[in-house]
Structure 1
């Protein structure tokens, strides 16, 4: 009898231990991670990683590669083991494009290659859908450059295309200013937003060609708009474009490289009289909402939703939680939005209502020198 009771006791202890282990696995706190691009003031600064654990009210940022001069834009491949950034510097032959390897959990990156951007002030990077090609936009250079990515993430320069022309604002549009390049979801086209010429250029993309990009057509936006960044709708049939200088969201139809305007919505109230500088545009992971940031005196985040008739309507305009919201991003599940405020040197967390898309600012924020880009890591 005693032996039976002893064995039963062991089973109870064993079951309790296993239950504790199982509970521990289930309740491991969820952490969201982002790569953070910055403008730097000294060599101790550079690329950073931000980790956000909501259940613990924890928001931490750490440097993962110091010594890069103003890595203002940073992206990674889908697996998260290859990272690409730039040095936004102005010299001959311009800035640089740098590739790294990354291991999840490690506290640093390993540099793999560095090549010139072949244009001044590189400001934006895109990966092709198959992740074998990279393009970089050179703002002051008025050009974009293309690179092939080998199996070890080393970059080989293939082509640089320089734009020509100007537009109506002589202070800001006296020459081309390529602000972004974006591949179409099917990988057939590259769309190039040029703030200086007020054009959205469509290039055919041939991955087998020695020089893979050939101009197809150039869509003229409203003079003085200053096209900056864009995203595609989930079905690839719409382009959601932010016009920096007029603080306008424009919805464009896209059909096999051809563009036409469908809707224009101002980010400003009718009685607004301050300065503007629309910056970033994001589509929520569930595809329900468009989010746009506006700098200048506005320092705002504006949220739109699609109406029954197919057009988009304003549902909320709120503060960015700081000064100069150059960039922001959403968590993969759409529950939170993080706003990177360049001039107030901070990143602020908002909760997102999954039904309405509206934002509520939380008390969570972290200080960081001039954060200007947030890239969401999936792994």
Structure 2
């Protein structure tokens, strides 16, 4: 019996070694495979404080560590980025013109290496307007939209099959002013396309208007006669957010530090004002305040908005029937002057770009409350202003 038991054990041991060597995938748990998945963070910056421009970081989700694998500095201040829906291309809005005499900015198209996430330039074109501050891509991946703060205008571009970008197809100059000292002229700030790609919503901070333009995706153009939705005088609409599942939209209002809530007509895309909620905490005194960015949680239950001055995130619960917001808490961003921030596509993490303190702070989102909690992890990046995320296949 002893000899028989010994042989049985030895046979099993040899068999297990053979199986492990021959069929390793059978012994890898889903967790282990997830841990090896490559994640990339693209960080846009102002070209100040020795910034190297556009940073490409490999991100380790297990220990929240990052490694800079590339920096790109084709022009000065790549302050805003947009990922193509197919995740093969990245578009960067640079504040610097194509040459020293060009008062406009530059839009650069990059191909993304599908194994490393590194970038290689496809082409570059003039943004046409002065000081581009936002770029977005329509859901079909055929049109890029660019907003210009100083110029107070917008432009659109046809995205080519190569992933490159055409010269500007549309250029529209806004006119007007409003009541705040910072509203002596138009200041276009963001263009957000509808989920079906039929419309794009343009937020002009200088004239207190949200304008809805018709999109002609095959041409890469936008219509010349928008529907205009005035906001409260002095509010300064900066960013715009459409709920992915509900017929509601949210406008981040920079000058009044408020969030405007709108109902969206499913057929026409027109906006109907519903309510406005404050972003600032009454417990914090600050001489300067300016709302910066706005995002929803992955499940659409929570809305986050960043405050510069108080340097925090305002956290709201989204009523899933009415679309109305209820303030839950204010969370310090762990730095100064939070600009844009990124809600992790997995719904677990939140990254905040604190421009004045030269850091990107990582938060973990609580499963039940939706409240971001500090992980104590900070990435040192000079003058960060935008964060994009990519999961390599």
Structure 1 residues 8, 25: closer, same or farther in 2, change over 3 A?
A: closer
Structure 1 residues 7, 354: closer, same or farther in 2, change over 3 A?
A: closer
Question: Who is 2:346 aligned against?
Answer: 333
Question: Who is 1:303 aligned against?
Answer: 315
1:344 to 333, 339, 357: 357
- What does the per-residue CA deviation read over 1:61-104, in whole Å, with 9 as the maximum and x for residues that have no partner? 44342343100001211332111001113763400001011113
TM-score (norm 1): 0.92
Q: CA deviation at 1:240?
A: 1.0
| Count of aligned pairs | 376
Tell which deviates more after alignment, 264-273 or 152-161. Answer: 264-273
Question: Who is 2:92 aligned against?
Answer: 85
Question: Who is 1:35 aligned against?
Answer: 42
1:38-77 to 2 correspondence within 5 Å? 38-41=45-48, 45-77=52-84
Structure 1: gaps of 5 or more residues: none
Distance 2:245 2:108 in 1: 32
Question: Who is 2:194 aligned against?
Answer: 184
Matched, 1:12 2:16: yes
1:259 to 262, 271, 281: 271
Distance 1:294 1:9 in 2: 61
Distance 1:325 1:42 in 2: 17
Distance 1:34 1:307 in 2: 31
- What does the per-residue CA deviation read over 1:243-274, in whole Å, with 9 as the maximum and x for residues that have no partner? 00111011111211321211211011346542
Contact 2:142 2:218 in 1 (8 A): no
Question: Who is 1:166 aligned against?
Answer: 177
- What does the per-residue CA deviation read over 1:288-336, in whole Å, with 9 as the maximum and x for residues that have no partner? 110100102x000111112476221011211001111101111112111
Contact 1:37 1:74 in 2 (8 A): yes
1:175 to 170, 182, 185: 185
Q: CA deviation at 1:50?
A: 2.9
Contact 2:294 2:304 in 1 (8 A): yes
RMSD of equivalent CA atoms: 2.4
TM-score (norm 2): 0.89
Contact 1:180 1:192 in 2 (8 A): yes
Question: Who is 1:364 aligned against?
Answer: 377
